[in-house]
Amino acid sequence: MRLRLYPIDCSVDINKVQKGHVRAVSIINTVASIHPSGANLLMPEPESTPYARLGGEEAVRKLVNRFYDLMDSETLWQTPLRDIHPKDLSASREKLFLFLSGWLGGPDLYVQRFGHPRLRARHGSFPVDDQARDQWMACMLRAMHDVEIEPELYAHLQGAFQRTADFMRNR
């Protein structure tokens, strides 16, 4: 059985893991720490996923729209964050929605449409340094606050977004 791991750009042969391949286990641990479903990476109950707790498709769309509305209007995050995004953010909105749907434990819409996300590789053509990472996080935290995510889930997602955003840095 092959286990698909994202946003890490690789997959792991679960049989080798069972045979004790330490490197594969360490990759799994890294992914478990990045993925919002954490240690439940393999088998989260559908009703206990962050996707369900958030409120499903409509709530994920609302969060993504708030995130890009803020990015588009808040001058604090114009440089570098807004500047490295396309002028028209509609494709960005759609892609982040599709991605978060699966990442939060809901339907894997991004994978169905585009295949493996290879998220780090896809960010490779954009300069993502500490400042861009911090602005992205500040924008996402404000968006989560504005759509009124309950505190426990907010804290959980803050950690998961932070670890993923750290991983996107390429400068």
Residues that bind ligand HEM (CB under 6 A): 81, 84-86, 91-92, 95-96, 99, 114, 119, 122-123, 126, 128, 132-133, 136, 161, 164-165, 168
Place of tokens 């807004």: 82
C-alpha 171/C-alpha 94 separation (Å) is 26
User: From the CB of 117, what's the least distance to ligand HEM, in Å?
Assistant: 6
Contact in structure between 127 and 170 (CB atoms under 8 Å): yes
Contact in structure between 108 and 101 (CB atoms under 8 Å): yes
C-alpha 126/C-alpha 98 separation (Å) is 20
User: From the CB of 110, what's the least distance to ligand HEM, in Å?
Assistant: 7
Q: Please tell me whether the peptide bond between 7 and the residue prior to it is cis, using omega within 30 degrees of 0.
A: yes
Q: Which residue is nearest to ligand HEM (CB)?
A: 92
Closer residue to ligand HEM, CB minimum distance, 3 or 168: 168
Closer residue to ligand HEM, CB minimum distance, 37 or 164: 164
Closer residue to ligand HEM, CB minimum distance, 21 or 169: 169
